[in-house]
Amino acid sequence: MLSNRQHIVKRSIARHLPVDNLSRKPPDLTHDADFPPPPPMPTLARMTPQPNPEAGAAVKAADRDHVFHSWSAQELIDPLAVAGAEGSYFWDYDGRRYLDFSSGLVYTNVGYQHPKIVAAIQEQAAKMTTFAPAFAIEARSEAARLIAERTPGDLDKIFFTNGGADAVEHAIRMARLHTGRPKVLSAYRSYHGGTQQAVNITGDPRRWASDSGSAGVVHFWAPYLYRSRFYAETEEQECARALEHLETTIRFEGPSTVAAIILETIPGTAGIMVPPPGYLAGVREICDRHGIVFVLDEVMAGFGRTGEWFAADLFDVTPDLLTFAKGVNSGYVPLGGVAISGAIAETFGKRPYPGGLTYSGHPLACAAAVATINVMAEEGVVENAARLGADVVGPELRALAERHPSVGEVRGTGMFWALELVRDRETREPLVPYNAAGEANAPMAAFAAAAKKGGLWPFVNMNRTHVVPPCNISEAELKEGLALLDAALSVADEHTR
């Protein structure tokens, strides 16, 4: 383990020193990293979409004929044909532009088509497009080094995967082999990926159809004061009771059967429930006491999303394994991974790790990660997310809650916010029932349609909309989006009592 002091030094390097080791450029220290200049605004000329409805119709027709989409009844969907994207915007073939408040699937942390990342991918393609995972490759080595430099504590070895779900699969495999124990504890109201083990760990309805019933997973309740399972009225009560519930669950499952506890540091798709102070430290302590591996899933919350490089930094907690994907390279080329502690890496020092992927640490994906991390450091993207979250998004969403009866709760940090929409603020009845579809989901569908009509692409899940734009969004763009959200919420208000 690193000492606290080493940990602080490592994190201060991560936060404040722009790193550009591939090109060996000296760091740009011309601006104060605490008050970075706003990221450059894309020029309007480059962003003016050129309408081409015929091309759009062809794209759409081939999609409808041949593309089988995720999580969907294929005949009931109507995917938008997208012609282009830049920065925080994308546009369709009719020339209609949308401000993307969803960052794709919460992964374009530095927006679309960042020129430095596109150039890095092009350069890597020209130099070495691909190479097998058993070799030491410059882009792979450098990506691992830059990531390890930023992860908390002694999470200094990086196993690369193709995305988030397989990162979770491997983290769980490592935990089981390290402890020799079978079970995994994970939270209801969580998402950990769509592959077989990851979806069985997931605590939302997407698991149900694939629940093997024998995946060795036990679900428990994590803190969520607004809809407390513990009859809590304060954060302190929620924290203490959630920890007591977890401890009891472990006691009754048998501590010697539990390999890992996996949590999203801040649950993302499930509702951005920022854990109360002390909760994650409490889970850490429980894991230590019972010899359980603590896995934090930062696939969505990592790489600047919360206004820190990793959400774990907000709580000063170091897990034994940390999964990442998405923001690591703004999703430009598929990449994920597991950051591994010294003790777990040691388990596989002399004994082979029984797992691998053809594309583990793919050079194109790793070159994109190197460029993304350097861009984030040079352009103060993490600081931008923290500042705009605290100064703009938080206050403006709370002001929206004052005006709109449909807003039950506002919660979040950085560029990671949720509005919980309700029919009735007193009873907290959700605007649509849990897991609603079709007619039952009509109020949320009407809200989303109104936002899109206004030019805002929202993230919508169940009775929530999440404000999760790129972490390098400008203040002006953010305010434009919040004004469009304000207008769309009037449609949600029509469904309140």
Ligand X SMILES: Cc1ncc(COP(=O)(O)O)c(C=O)c1O
Q: Is 160 one of the binding residues for ligand X (CB under 6 A)?
A: no
Return the structure tokens found at 288.
């230590």
What is the H or E stretch that residue 185 is in?
strand 183-187
Smaller CB separation from ligand X, 464 or 495 = 464
Smaller CB separation from ligand X, 205 or 254 = 205
Smaller CB separation from ligand X, 207 or 495 = 207
Smaller CB separation from ligand X, 10 or 466 = 466
Q: Check: CB of residue 322 under 8 Å from CB of residue 309.
A: no
Stretch near ligand X under the rule CB under 6 A, chosen from 5-13, 88-96, 185-193, 238-246: 185-193
Q: Which of 193, 319, 443, 470 binds ligand X (CB under 6 A)?
A: 193
Phi, psi of 379 (to 5 degrees): -100, 5
Return the exposure string of 271-281: e unless at least 16 CB atoms fall within 10 Å of the residue's CB, then b.
bbbbbbebbbe
Stretch near ligand X under the rule CB under 6 A, chosen from 24-32, 77-85, 163-171, 271-279: 163-171
CB of residue 335 vs ligand X: minimum separation in angstroms?
Answer: 9
| 327-356 binders of ligand X (CB under 6 A) | 336
Which residue number places its CB atom closest to ligand X? 164
Q: Which of 264, 378, 379, 396 binds ligand X (CB under 6 A)?
A: 264
Q: Cβ atoms within 10 A of the Cβ of 30, count?
A: 6
Q: Which of 39, 49, 104, 163 binds ligand X (CB under 6 A)?
A: 163
Which strand ranges, in their side-by-side order, compose the sheet holding 89-92? 82-86, 89-92, 97-100, 456-457
Q: Where are the beta strands (DSSP E) in 11-79?
A: none
Q: Check: CB of residue 193 under 8 Å from CB of residue 298.
A: no
Q: Is 262 one of the binding residues for ligand X (CB under 6 A)?
A: no
CB of residue 301 vs ligand X: minimum separation in angstroms?
Answer: 7
Give how far Cα 103 sits from Cα of 91, 98, 108, 158, Å. Answer: 14, 11, 5, 25
Q: Check: CB of residue 175 under 8 Å from CB of residue 355.
A: no
Q: Is 268 one of the binding residues for ligand X (CB under 6 A)?
A: yes
Stretch near ligand X under the rule CB under 6 A, chosen from 24-32, 162-170, 358-366, 395-403: 162-170
Give the C-alpha separation, 460 to 445, whole Å.
Answer: 9
# of chain residues touching ligand X (CB under 6 A) = 16
Stretch near ligand X under the rule CB under 6 A, chosen from 11-19, 41-49, 186-194, 271-279: 186-194
Q: Which of 280, 322, 325, 491 binds ligand X (CB under 6 A)?
A: 325
Q: Check: CB of residue 132 under 8 Å from CB of residue 296.
A: no
Return the structure tokens found at 116.
């430095």
Residues that bind ligand X (CB under 6 A): 105, 163-165, 168, 191-193, 264, 268-269, 297, 299-300, 325, 336
